[in-house]
Every structure is written in C-alpha cells, then in structure tokens.
Structure 1
Amino acid sequence: MSNQKSEHQRKVAEGPIRNKERTKQKMIDAVGEVLKEKSYAGLTMNNIVKKANVDRKLVVHYFGNLNNLIEEYLNSRDYWMTKVAPKVREIAATSEKNLGEKEIVQILHTLYDAVDGSADLQKMILWQISEYNENLSALLENREKLGEPLFKATDVDFKNTDIDLRAILAVQIAGIYYLNLQSKSNNVAFCEVNLGTEEGTRRIKDAVAKMIQLVYQQRK
C-alpha cells in the first residue's frame, strides 16, 4: 500500500514539472516559428504568445522577460555550437600533430552542410548581419573562441610565409553563408552554378577543397 502511495505522489509531482517543461518548449519553439515567418522584426511578445497559444504572463513567469526567452531559443538553436562545434573538435582531435589541409576541408564542408540543412541557422545568420543584438553578439564571441585553438594548430604550416590563413578562411566562410542564403531565398543560379541541386552543392564543395589545396601548395 505504501509503495502505491509513493508511486501516486511521484506522478502527481512530475505532472506539473512536465507541463512546465512542455509549456516552456512551446514558447521556445514559437520563437523559431515567428522568426521563420516574420523574420527578426516580428519577434514581439504578442506574436510569440499567439504562436505558442499561451498567456503572456507565462513568459515572465518562466523566463523573466521576452529577451531571456529569445536568448534561450538562440542558445538551443545555435547549430554552430551544438552541431558544428562537436564535429570540429572531433576532426581536430583526430589530427596527429596539427590541423592540416584535409581537416580544414572537412570543417568547411561540415559548416556548409549545417547551414544548408538548417532554416533556423539561416535566419540567425540573416539576423546577425542585419542588426546588433546583445545575445547574438555573445554567440558570435563563443564561435570566435572555438576557432582560436584551431588557428593555432595551423600556424606551424604557415610560419615564415605571407599566407594569411585566417583571412582566407574568413572569405570562404562568408561565401558559404552567402551562397546558402542566396540559394534558399532565390531559386536562381549563382555564377551559373545551380545551388539548389546536388550537382551545385558538389561543385561548391569541390571548389572549397581546391582553394585550400592551392593555399597549401603556395606555401611550399
């Protein structure tokens, strides 16, 4: 009898906890839906609570304010840190002494796939380049910190050369961002490369790999 009572108490206690987590997740998901439908300008309290179908008082109750809710969404959907970063660390960890040509290409291809496959990440990139936001700025700083040890691992290959690998990768990563955003916004070719097809993706990835190959050949 005591075991049945204990089980009943546990279920009663878990009910509100689960409901709270479900409600919080509904609100977090609603931020993403509003961002997709109305862009960052549409991230208002009214739009989010309407999409989540919850009382606006719950935003304050669970998150404190709208800004904290948006921050929670950004942290949970930051594909750079949640999806790309672990793969980057794995690639770096498998390299014997330093990060080389093969590993850099793997990282760039991983990034391309992440942006290509995530509407959330695409919207976040657009938001980042369109206006200043404190939460987005913090995410960008975290990404920069991720790159610091990786760049140090490549320095040995370019010591005493005039090759600025950081600047080269900045141009390539910016290109990856833009090409993916352009292909999703407009169904047209870019420089006669159809980015909406598997062949177009392969051509871009091949070009990324070729550019890195040429950089490493130039240092010799």
Structure 2
Amino acid sequence: MENQVIPVRKPKRTKDKELAKLELIQAVAEIIRTKGYTGLGVNKIAQKAGLHKKLIYRYFGNVDNLIEQYIVEKDFWIIASEELSNKAAVNSESNLEDVISTILEQQFHFFYNEQEMQELILWELSGKSFLMNSISKAREELGEKFLTLTDKYFEDSDINFRALSALLTAGIYYIILHSRVSTFCGLDIRNKEDKEEILRTLKLVIHRAFESAKKK
C-alpha cells in the first residue's frame, strides 16, 4: 500500500504570511508534544503545518530560527523575567519574599502543565543543541536582572539566595520530569494533596530564608 501523501498548501496572498508563520510555530509545538524534540526537522514541520518547506526559510531564515521563535514565545523565564524584575523593583523589601514565592509557584504550575516545555528542558539537558545552549544563556542573562535584587537583601546574611534559588528551581524541574515515570521521595505530584504539599514547603523554605536574613 502506497504511503499517503499529505498535500502542501502555499499561502496565496501576502496577508497570509502571518497565518503561515503561526501555523509553522504551532506545528513545532505539536511535534514536540507528540514526538519530542527528536521529531523536529524541516520536512516534518512543513508536513505537519501543511505548507511548503521553503516558507520556513522565507519567513524565518532557517529551521533553528523557527524553533527559537517558538521557544521565546513559550519559555516561562524569558516571558516573565522582565515583568517580574520590574515588579520586584517597585516593591519594598518586605514584599520581595511574596514576589519570589509567587514567581516559583507560577513556574511550578507552568512547567507542570506544559508538556512541550518539559520536552524542551530535556532537549536542553542533553547538551547536544547549540540552539538550546543559546536559549539557556539568554534565560540566565534575563534572570540575572532579578537575582541582583535579592543580592542586596541577603548580602550581610549567611544565606546565599542564588544557591537556594538554583536548588528550588532545579527541584521544580526535576520532580515534575520525574513524575512522568514514578513517585519521588514517596510523593506523587499528580496527586492534588502531594502537589499542594510541595508548594507549601516551597513557600516555607523561602520564608525561612527571609526570616533568617532579617536577623543579620
């Protein structure tokens, strides 16, 4: 039996450009969601979108730029870092704890609910992609603006909040990724009670750090 050929569709008018770009980005998302990052490729993306592959080059330059556009629109820290750093900057030191707790709680919910981002982090951790390494560096540069605000608060304490943030952020990534295969430390975050306990403890750890810094 011959393989079914999926017809490609080319936008007929200039005004279709933005629609075609959106469909190509959505095709990237669908492939990541169903096949993982290893399923990405010019031909597969174009086929999924039902468009000619030359439109990827016309509108994005190359496939890496297309994937990067998708990631930039999807990544939690890239989207939120500027807004969150501005929010923290206009808040008093007494509110910085609440801002940070909210950020990490939002990150948890976002990463938990976004399978595509889980696949992208796995891709990043594979260390085989120049594109993902570049995205990671961009995320770090944006995060630096926010972490600088906490440096001043903890500078005279024995709390290294950058180290604590690294552990909490990495913990969020790992426990969510690990939940795809089994429980972790006897907790199943697919269970509402266990997930709420993780979030409660996350907030408690941040609170204890700030309380300790107040005693400096």
TM range (shorter): 0.7 to 0.9
Aligned twin of 1:197: 191
Seen in structure 2, the aligned counterparts of structure 1 residues 172 and 64 have a Cα distance that, compared at 3 Å, is same
Aligned to 2:13, the other structure's residue is in SS state helix
C-alpha distance in 1 between matches for 2:166 and 2:20: 40
1:73 counterpart = 2:70? yes
| Stretches (4+) displaced over 6 A | none
Q: Does 1:54 align with 2:58?
A: no
1:151 aligns with 2:150: no
The question of 1:209 aligning with 2:206 is answered no
**Cα offset, 1:179, TM superposition:** 1.3
Distance 2:155 2:54 in 1: 58
Alignment of 1:72-151 (within 5 A): 72-82=69-79, 84-85=80-81, 88-89=84-85, 91-97=87-93, 100-151=96-147
Deviation at residue 51 of structure 1 after TM alignment: 1.1
Distance 2:99 2:65 in 1: 37
C-alpha spacing 1:96/1:160, structure 2 compared with 1 (3 Å): closer
**1:181-205 superposed Cα distances (whole Å, 9 cap, x missing partner):** 222x22x432222201222221011
Report the counterpart of residue 3 of structure 1 in structure 2: none
How far residue 167 of structure 1 moved from its aligned partner, in angstroms, is 0.7
Which is worse superposed, 196-205 or 135-144?
135-144
1:17 aligns with 2:11: no
C-alpha distance in 2 between matches for 1:218 and 1:96: 18
Q: Structure 2 length as normaliser, TM-score?
A: 0.83
Which residue does 1:7 correspond to in 2?
A: none
| Contact 2:32 2:40 (C-alpha < 8 Å) held by counterparts | yes
- 2:20 partner amino acid: T
CA contact (8 A) 1:99 1:153 kept: no
Q: What displacement does 1:90 show?
A: 5.5
The runs of 5 or more residues in structure 2 that have no matched partner are 1-11
2:82–2:142 Cα contact (<8 Å) kept:
no
How many residue pairs match? The answer is 203
Equivalent residue for 2:3?
Answer: none
Matched, 1:64 2:61: yes
Does residue 1:180 correspond to 2:181, yes or no?
no
Q: Percent identity?
A: 32
Counterpart contact for 1:99–1:154, Cα < 8 Å: no
RMSD: 2.2
For the structure 1 residues 64 and 159, does the alpha-carbon distance in structure 2 shift closer, same or farther, using more than 3 Å as the test?
closer
Deviation at 1:158, TM superposition (A): 2.0
